[in-house]
Amino acid sequence: MISTVLVANRGEIACRIFRTCRELGIGTVAVYSDADENALHARVADAAVRLPGATPAETYLRGDLIVKAAVAAGADAVHPGYGFLSENAGFARAVADAGLTWIGPPPEAIEAMASKTRAKELMGIAPLDQVTEADLPVLVKAAAGGGGRGMRVVRHLADLDAELAAARAEAASAFGDGEVFVEPYVENGRHVEVQILADTHGTVWALGTRDCSLQRRHQKVIEEAPAPGLTASLTEDLYEQAIRAARAVDYAGAGTVEFLVADGKAHFLEMNTRLQVEHPVTEAVCGVDLVALQLRVAEGHALETDPPRARGHAVEARLYAEDPANGWAPQTGRLHRLAVPDGIRLDTGYTDGDDIGVHYDPMLAKAVAHAPTRTEAIRLLAGALERAAVHGPLTNRDLLVRSLRHEEFTAGRMDTGFYDRHLPELTAPAPDPLAPLAAALADAHGRSRFGGWRNLPSQPQVKRYAMAGEEHEVRYRHTRTGLTADGVRVVHADARLVVLEADGVRRRYEVARYGDRVHVNATALTALPRFPDPTTQHAPGSLLAPMPGTVVRVAEGLTEGTAVQAGQPLLWLEAMKMEHKITAPVTGTLTTLHAVPGQQVTVGSLLAVVGET
């Protein structure tokens, strides 16, 4: 029997595994990097062991240090979570060699399936060795790991070598393995997967399907179970292929077999020999705890002959600290508040007041809704996200709400090209026009000791806010009867709640302010000073860092005086385990180059200047 589990991971998945362990009376051990010293997963575990360093290569990818931590803390089992070393056969063997229980599949199964190239060979599929124009578009993919890292779509043969190099570098950074391969890229297919669970006694469950077609940068954004609109015969084919893949490698534990569904056919993609990020939707519809079942299998228990029946529908949305309208750029900073209404499940690795750093994935939480029907589950999740308090850096919350309510998604007609087609409309600014007034009135009340009224004729008070990229000026007055604004009736105003009535409709506005950042319901604003700060001005053509990170590469041969074309890649930043390309804003000449490889930069740092010709 397992008594204490070390989770070789961080953040949301570590917290989620700890929750099940506590429910089963199992002790917990966390590992944490220097960047995660105060992270939630390190705080909630029974014991925590430091991994010196900040980058994944120094910490969560150091299997030797993690095994030593498990032994030192008295753990008798290791759960890898997802990502990092979860699909590393060498790490699984090291855990077993140390006399610890590995909560995952046998190392041989990981070895066979963790390499995408070998997995395809097992399923009778050969990758492309030589790419020609006739093969385009193609997908460059990391052989180890997942999560969209080390993955590139190539549409022009001339771009292949550069994209191969970029994919190798990103895969090596994320997984410690730079091997990549090339396969045909199927446009606008559906990403459908089957959750499997196998014991060591020969039983393999297919626990239903999931649809994960809504993706950005090859990373899933919204997932659901079961996958809508599949025929019975296609579903049966998916189950058969998934079970065949599991039996081919004598699989044990939880895993996922992924497919691309196009033209009514299922095309095998890969098998993930670990727990998936989106496993909660399967748990919801099947009424199981997959982590608890992983623990039971690791202890040698047998599964029931037949899997549980699915009931209802579940939808999951991943809440990221990112700017979807700006190339999905990750965001950092203090998460002041994260709260969702009752009735949905929230899996997260953050609590109020935690900092979102630059070293790891920007996912804040997963919100999951379960209901008798798909329509009800979608409505429940969209409504909960819309009313959630997410105070801090910019997030994809509005994008999630709009995606869930988009007619293509509600009708079940989505595919992996969804965001390619609809991103502009899904990210078009639509702030509440009364939000600046509510912010100003709450601020006026909060800063005024006596309510702000003076026994003199009062000029309008003026405040300025930045909202959705535009400046908004607000005017209001202090009177004997309280605060007033032209054309709007102020029903109530205090530092946290403002009630306004316009055109006969009364609305409530909850207001929270953190420095110059103001959150009014779901609208975020920035309070502006009365006079602009001239030191914040930059010359035209300036390239500013869109996020904090590290300069990893500068384009070959790029020096001051080089002629550049608009859109030409000039340098690359690495932030949150992803590379981000910085391009020339105009056609002209590079007049200034501040960025050098290895340099740490903050948001707004001046990287270079291009003078327009």
Q: Indicate which residues carry an active-site annotation.
A: 274
Name residue 48's beta-bridge partners. 30
Residues 6+ away with beta carbon under 8 Å from 330: 320, 321, 322, 358, 362, 547, 575, 576, 578
How many C-alpha atoms does 367 have within 13 Å on its Cβ side? 30
How many C-alpha atoms does 588 have within 13 Å on its Cβ side? 17
Phi/psi of residue 435, nearest 5 degrees: -60, -45
Total count of residues recorded for the chain: 613
Report the alpha-carbon distance of residue 58 to residue 35 in Å, rounded: 11
Name residue 553's beta-bridge partners. 572
Name residue 583's beta-bridge partners. 569
Q: Where are the beta strands (DSSP E) in 119-244?
A: 138-142, 152-154, 180-184, 190-198, 204-216, 219-225
Sign of CA dihedral 367, 369, 189, 290: positive
3-state secondary structure of 391: strand
Report the alpha-carbon distance of residue 107 to residue 109 in Å, rounded: 5
Q: What is the CA radius of gyration of the chain?
A: 26
Residue pair 331/362 in contact by the 8 Å Cβ criterion: yes
CB atoms closer than 10 angstroms to residue 66: 26
Report the alpha-carbon distance of residue 28 to residue 22 in Å, rounded: 8
**Residue 189 DSSP symbol:** -
Please, what's the largest Cα pairwise distance for the chain?
86
Report the alpha-carbon distance of residue 197 to residue 103 in Å, rounded: 13
Report the alpha-carbon distance of residue 75 to residue 242 in Å, rounded: 33
What is the per-residue DSSP string for 280-301?
HHHHHHHT--HHHHHHHHHTTP
The encoded tokens of residue 550 equal 């590290």
Report the alpha-carbon distance of residue 418 to residue 403 in Å, rounded: 9
Among 317, 139, 356, CA closest to 220: 317
3-state secondary structure of 65: helix
The encoded tokens of residue 385 equal 């996200």
**Residue 604 DSSP symbol:** T
Report the alpha-carbon distance of residue 585 to residue 469 in Å, rounded: 18
CB atoms closer than 10 angstroms to residue 96: 15
Distances in Å between the Cα of 518 and the Cα atoms of 70, 394, 436, 495, 502 are 44, 12, 9, 12, 22
Report the alpha-carbon distance of residue 493 to residue 477 in Å, rounded: 13
Residue pair 540/610 in contact by the 8 Å Cβ criterion: no
